[in-house]
Structure 1
Amino acid sequence: MKKPSELRVPTPLAVIAFFFALTLSITPAHAQAHAEVKPGDVITPKNAAQVRTLVSPGTYVAVAAGMQMNIVAPSHVDWPPPYQDATEKYSGQVRLAANHRDLLGYVAGQPFPLLDQNDPDVATKIMWNQYFRPIATDDFDLRYFECQVAKENPGAQQQLMLMTETGHLAGYSDIGRTEVEPMPADPDFKSSGVWIRVGAYPTLAPAEDRGSGAIRYRYWDGNKADDAWAFLAGSRRVRRVNEVMMSSSPGLSTWDADHAGGFGAKPQEYNFKFLGDRSMLACAHAINSPAHPCPTDGGATSCPDDWEMRHLYVVEVTPRPERIQGVLQSKTVVYVDGEGWFNPYVDSYDQKGELWKTQIYLFTYRDRPVPDARVAVYPFKRLFNIAASSVDVQSGISTTCYLPGPDTPERECWYINMGAVDKSFFTTEALSKAGH
């Protein structure tokens, strides 16, 4: 099986979005030249029209408000070798169930590395590829990350509305493991049915929320909803959280759990529609790590940084009313890099069908998250998300998270597939203990 960077598309037609590679082929974005931008260009609000068709509608709003882009030549992003090996070993046995939604025969790696754009299930297969992306297959521990809430203000200095800091954002996968024992699945998976566990706690700032946090379980059974629990500093109690609340933004923050890393809600509860593939701009080789607030938009996003032309897939996601109700987004449009399988941006629309929020992700590709790392150093290059902005385009309020944070004591921040967390972290007992 060829690596993604070696695949070639015989025709320039559509196929879509969120972590996948085309049937027999992908035309790398850098092979599809666009006259609108070229390496060396600097995109500011004055010439933002040059990128109107090269980014998502929400991202264009951010650029017009002051998020500067430095255009550079594109470079390759390869999969981690263990993930590539697992894809070659196991993908041939993967298929969709008779209901065209559930995944059968999956072990590890990318489920559907070869996709046919004429396949009526291509969008669903793309979404399954997105859920098993090559970025963090086994576990991750993101330490001491900082998020800043500010309002878009072109040309002005940042005026912070809120700053939050969290001790850990961590995840542990029971299946699809490629680098850390137990591989390729945790023995607990057969009895628990848990696909992945995620936890974010304890909150370190602001002071009134200190100790708060949450954990979430996702089950392999498509008919079993996610379980989530939150520990709130005010009540000092652990409470169960309704699954629908995962699409809601808490307080001033513009993030919600289902869109914190792209689109991350339970896949069987949504419909997927293939919209096409395009050459568009993305930040895949960020030069600023740690990232910093953008000086030209009031600190609403992180900039300036390097953006390059890449080959993206686009998919529309809508809730299935028979499975889930009360979701605030009428639809989400997801953009996926066809080589690195990351999301450069994701746009959400409100119940009126109007653009509501955009999430913008800056990635870097290296063997360590920060140049001076001493522990989080890897035997191969991998992708690290170094900044993520969630912009409410209707209000202009944005929450940008810095990974690592500019003022946090932990500078290495990202520990991916290093066994940094185990299942004991993802329990209500551990959540409560940390909060007290």
Structure 2
Amino acid sequence: MKKSVILRSSTLVALASVFAMSAANAAELKPGDVIDASNFDQVKEDTFEGHKIKDLITDKVEVLIKNYNLKIPLRASEEIPVPQEDIENTKKYAGEVKIDPETKEVTGYKAGTPFPDIDVNDPLAGFKALNNYYYQNTYGNSFDGSYTFLFVDSNRGLDRAQRWWTFSLKMKGRQTGEPVLGDGTLVKKQLLFAVEPFDIKGLGIFTVRYDSKRLEDNWAYVKSVRRTRQLSGSSWMDNMAGSVQLNDEYDGLSGRPSWYPTAKLIGKRHVLAVAHLPLTLVNPSGATNAEKYPTVNTQEKPFSMPAKNVEWEPREVWAIELGMPGEHPYSKRILYMDTKFPRIYNVEHYDKSGEFAKISFVMTTPIKGDDGILSMTPRQGLCFDIKRQEGFVYLQEADAMANRRGVTENDVTLGKLEAAAK
């Protein structure tokens, strides 16, 4: 018996020594260090800004690193200041906002963050966090500008590129002036239409988003008959511009939270995300795809990941499990959303059998609008369908501007879509 006790004690001492040696050998990585398939297993016990690498990288991102050529250069984290206008609006209006525990519908919202204090024990915490994002995901009263869409095959490379132009106007949640435009029934109006190449030029959609459970109204311009046609209410689940990204996935999540049956707040953690992407994303004069799209991997197979010059930093996020309605192509999503301001960085998509099928990243940077107020807009988005081995990337161009001076409600109408198409 004594011998057995001694052996067990010796084993415990040996294990403790191994753990102590591992801790002693762990290093603190520094900005500029790159995590990739060649070194992940060696650095996963190391730390960055005090967090273990294996804790900053989700298991699904680890799959991308090891199997799909994702490289993660590190940068020091940097706080993003919330505009004073949003802080004041939150103090002024948040107390008027309510959420129905049965329908998950929000009422009383005008401006600012609707639910500034999230309690992890609140059964409605997931819906509250997503409504913070839904109402305030892009700072500013308006946003317009061009985007380049890239359609990528992981094995063949870039299939095609398109240019689209968008114009969105917030009807609620406005930073300056009256917080609500109109009668209070609308959240946002948006135009999106194709600019290049010639064979798709003029295609476009006009969207009206209601502040209720009512589905969005969407009108598409049909070139063949030179008329607009209203789309079915289920178009929010359709593929966007023929890509692997769905309409309700743009900018992380564009569907109204109450359209989804469940939203469970899993908890709080830190992940590596792209929250400062100040690089030039589109260079029209570039001679090669690598020069034209410097933040997209167009040179190394597989091709669907960001380029190695895109830097990642630790961000504190809410992890939220979102259940899909029965008719949706997916069964659930896991979203990672910043706890400090409403910005979704990473989304995992699971098919009807519950298998991991697709991943999305939204990459952003703080920019000042035309009026000098800080704005957060999606500079680069990436959606990679693992099963289809196809990717979709959207890149913000240099003409993009938030809070452009002189914008009025008349600038975002069905008539404007028809005029642009013609």
The TM-score normalised by the length of structure 1 is: 0.78
SS of alignment partner, residue 258 of structure 1: helix
Mapped contact 1:79–1:134 kept (Cα < 8 A): no
Tell me: CA distance 1:215–1:69, structure 2 relative to 1, closer, same or farther (3 Å): same
Residue 82 of structure 1 is aligned with which of 61, 81, 85? 85
Q: Deviations over 1:3-35 (max 9, x none)?
A: xxxxxxxxxxxxxxxxxxxxxxxxxxxxxxx97
Q: C-alpha separation between the residues in 2 aligned to 1:68 and 1:61? A: 12
Residue 279 of structure 1 is aligned with which of 270, 287, 291? 270
Show the counterpart of 2:162.
164
Show the counterpart of 1:7.
none
Aligned residue type for 1:359 = S
Show the counterpart of 1:337.
338
- Tell me whether 1:311 sits opposite 2:309 in the alignment: no
Using the TM superposition, name which of 95-104 and 311-320 deviates more. 95-104
User: What is the deviation of 1:420?
Assistant: 6.1
**Structure 2 regions of 5+ residues with no counterpart?**
1-25, 45-52, 282-293
Written as runs of structure 1 = structure 2, the 5 A alignment for 1:2-41 is 38-41=30-33
Tell me: CA distance 1:36–1:235, structure 2 relative to 1, closer, same or farther (3 Å): farther
Tell me: CA distance 1:170–1:301, structure 2 relative to 1, closer, same or farther (3 Å): farther
Written as runs of structure 1 = structure 2, the 5 A alignment for 1:228-267 is 228-250=218-240, 252-267=242-257
Using the TM superposition, name which of 379-388 and 277-286 deviates more. 379-388
Percent of residue pairs bearing the same amino acid type: 22
Mapped contact 1:68–1:296 kept (Cα < 8 A): no
Show the counterpart of 1:397.
390
User: What is the deviation of 1:53?
Assistant: 4.8
- Tell me whether 1:302 sits opposite 2:302 in the alignment: no
Show the counterpart of 2:364.
363
Q: C-alpha separation between the residues in 1 aligned to 2:304 and 2:392? A: 7
- Tell me whether 1:215 sits opposite 2:212 in the alignment: no
User: What is the deviation of 1:349?
Assistant: 1.4
Question: More helix per residue: 1 or 2?
Answer: 2
Residue 107 of structure 1 is aligned with which of 106, 110, 113? 110
Tell me: CA distance 1:399–1:98, structure 2 relative to 1, closer, same or farther (3 Å): closer
Q: C-alpha separation between the residues in 1 aligned to 2:355 and 2:28? A: 27
User: What is the deviation of 1:87?
Assistant: 0.9
Mapped contact 2:32–2:75 kept (Cα < 8 A): yes
Tell me: CA distance 1:251–1:67, structure 2 relative to 1, closer, same or farther (3 Å): same
Structure with higher Rg: it is 2
SS of alignment partner, residue 252 of structure 2: coil
Mapped contact 2:143–2:402 kept (Cα < 8 A): yes
Q: C-alpha separation between the residues in 1 aligned to 2:72 and 2:257? A: 33
Show the counterpart of 2:98.
95
Q: C-alpha separation between the residues in 2 aligned to 1:109 and 1:250? A: 29
Q: C-alpha separation between the residues in 2 aligned to 1:338 and 1:385? A: 17
User: What is the deviation of 1:95?
Assistant: 2.1
Mapped contact 1:345–1:361 kept (Cα < 8 A): yes
User: What is the deviation of 1:394?
Assistant: 1.2
Tell me: CA distance 1:382–1:250, structure 2 relative to 1, closer, same or farther (3 Å): closer
Q: C-alpha separation between the residues in 2 aligned to 1:420 and 1:356? A: 44
Matched residue count = 371
Q: Deviations over 1:99-135 (max 9, x none)?
A: 3512232221001111222112111211111112263
Written as runs of structure 1 = structure 2, the 5 A alignment for 1:103-252 is 103-133=106-136, 135-141=138-144, 143-153=145-155, 159-166=157-164, 168-179=165-176, 181=177, 183-186=178-181, 188-190=182-184, 193-201=185-193, 203-222=194-213, 224-250=214-240, 252=242
Tell me: CA distance 1:66–1:258, structure 2 relative to 1, closer, same or farther (3 Å): same
Tell me: CA distance 1:131–1:419, structure 2 relative to 1, closer, same or farther (3 Å): farther
Aligned residue type for 1:165 = R
SS of alignment partner, residue 344 of structure 1: strand
Mapped contact 1:146–1:401 kept (Cα < 8 A): yes
Q: C-alpha separation between the residues in 2 aligned to 1:314 and 1:99? A: 22
Q: Which has the higher contact order (CA 8 A, sep 6+)?
A: 1
Q: Deviations over 1:35-85 (max 9, x none)?
A: 785533202232345456534455444433123211122111111111111
Q: Deviations over 1:399-433 (max 9, x none)?
A: 111111xxxxxx2x321123564333433322222
Q: C-alpha separation between the residues in 2 aligned to 1:363 and 1:35? A: 29
Mapped contact 1:209–1:234 kept (Cα < 8 A): no
User: What is the deviation of 1:340?
Assistant: 3.4
Residue 35 of structure 2 is aligned with which of 39, 43, 51? 43
RMSD: 2.5
Mapped contact 2:370–2:403 kept (Cα < 8 A): no
Mapped contact 1:56–1:347 kept (Cα < 8 A): no
Aligned residue type for 2:321 = E
SS of alignment partner, residue 251 of structure 2: coil
Aligned residue type for 1:240 = Q
Q: C-alpha separation between the residues in 2 aligned to 1:435 and 1:357? A: 33
Mapped contact 1:315–1:335 kept (Cα < 8 A): yes
Q: C-alpha separation between the residues in 1 aligned to 2:411 and 2:197? A: 23
Mapped contact 1:123–1:272 kept (Cα < 8 A): yes
Show the counterpart of 1:6.
none
Q: C-alpha separation between the residues in 2 aligned to 1:117 and 1:309? A: 21
SS of alignment partner, residue 431 of structure 1: helix
Aligned residue type for 1:335 = Y
Show the counterpart of 1:9.
none
- Tell me whether 1:72 sits opposite 2:75 in the alignment: yes
Q: C-alpha separation between the residues in 1 aligned to 2:88 and 2:241? A: 43
Tell me: CA distance 1:302–1:263, structure 2 relative to 1, closer, same or farther (3 Å): same
Mapped contact 1:146–1:165 kept (Cα < 8 A): yes
